[in-house]
Amino acid sequence: MSFFDEDDEPRTRVRPRRAAPAGGAPDRRTARIRQAVLAGALLLALLLVVLLVNSCRKSAQESALKDYNRDVASLVSASDTEVGDPFFDLMRNPPQGDLQTQVNGFKNAAQQQFDQAKGIDTPGEMEAAQRSFLVTMEMRRDGLQQIADRVRTALSSDAEAADGAIKAIAGSMGLFLASDVVYNSRVTPLIDKALQDADVGRQQLQRTQFLPGIQWLEPATIADVLGQQISADGESTTRQPAPGLHGTGIDSVSVGDRTLQPDAPNRIPFGPDTEFTVSFTNQGENDETNLKVVLRIEGGPKPVEVTKTVPSVAAGAKATATLGLDQAPPLDTPVTIIAEVRPVPGEKKKDNNKTQYDAAFFRQ
């Protein structure tokens, strides 16, 4: 074939596309996708950090509120059991020694508890509760201080001075009642509200009862436990026993038609009209006046105590005191019932003034 016989149509040579060099810059679309993914990852990480911080903050807040509630509960419970209960036991059975010194010991314990209350770590949500709690603890300390300052005068033979001191001690007992009211009507509700507002559930709220009964607000009760008496004209005199034997003895204790047995468990139905009858005899040679009969039920969170004063019992005569309960006793749980006729002036044999029974109350 000659040169001139070749195809006259031009030939087109196709060049192969070069591959992008490795590690080269991506195109715009790929770059935008990568930027969007990175921004989303950063946003998600920021959200997780915020959620974690909020969770930690909420957990710390809940812990602070729980700790405050627990600290207050522990301290007010100690105030009741380590100061209030032994103080009133002391007042019920004054020692032969210096009563003022022993009452001062309880005041010092109350001062320490007040100082501990001031040092409680208080979250902002609990500031109102804390202010009222400090008032509660301060009133208990002040009441004990006032009683310690006056008890020696109340025991003196100066009738006029003793009468004023006895009335002042009864007034100081009002501080204990006020402390109970402030705590139960202010501190506990404020703590409960702060816990509920923070959605902190299942927390035990501690209540208090420092003053065991309103009878302690009566000057006659104070005079009686101190071995003094307030006469009809308002003056107090030291009880000086008449010559001869003095003393009483408990014969029996009954509830309705049931006579309690001291050597066996007693099951007692309880209702609004449940009353105890303490029967006793004046075993001395003298007429006695203002005999105080006490019924105490132990075994619950707080003892239940009621008193009744029998105006007079002739020598050798029998007497009864009927006592209703001003609050429900523990139900369906073992308790100890203690009945006592307080010793009269000049009484030396006292082992038959008191008796106790094992019992359990059930709902009538």
Residue-range domains of the chain with CATH: 51-238 (1.20.120), 248-363 (2.60.40.10)
- The pTM assigned to this predicted structure is 0.58
Helix (H, G, I), strand (E, B) or coil at 355: strand
Rounded to a whole number of angstroms, the distance between the first and last alpha carbons of the chain is: 135
Are residues 275 and 323 in contact, defined by beta-carbon separation less than 8 angstroms?
A: yes
Amino acid at the residue 127? E
For all residues of the chain together, what is the average pLDDT?
A: 86
Binning pLDDT at 50, 70 and 90, where does residue 14 land?
low
**Which pLDDT value is given to residue 341?**
93
Binning pLDDT at 50, 70 and 90, where does residue 5 land?
low
Q: What is the mean pLDDT of residues 4-14?
A: 54
In 3D space, the residue among 134, 141, 122 whose CA is nearest the CA of residue 182 turns out to be: 134
Amino acid at the residue 16? P
Pairing of the two strands 275-282 and 354-363: unpaired
pLDDT, tens digit, 9 for 90 and up, residues 137-188: 999 999 999 999 999 999 887 878 888 999 999 999 999 999 999 999 999 9
Lowest mean pLDDT: which of 214-218, 302-306, 314-318? 302-306
Binning pLDDT at 50, 70 and 90, where does residue 88 land?
very high
pLDDT, tens digit, 9 for 90 and up, residues 238-285: 455 678 899 999 999 999 899 999 988 999 999 989 999 999 999 999
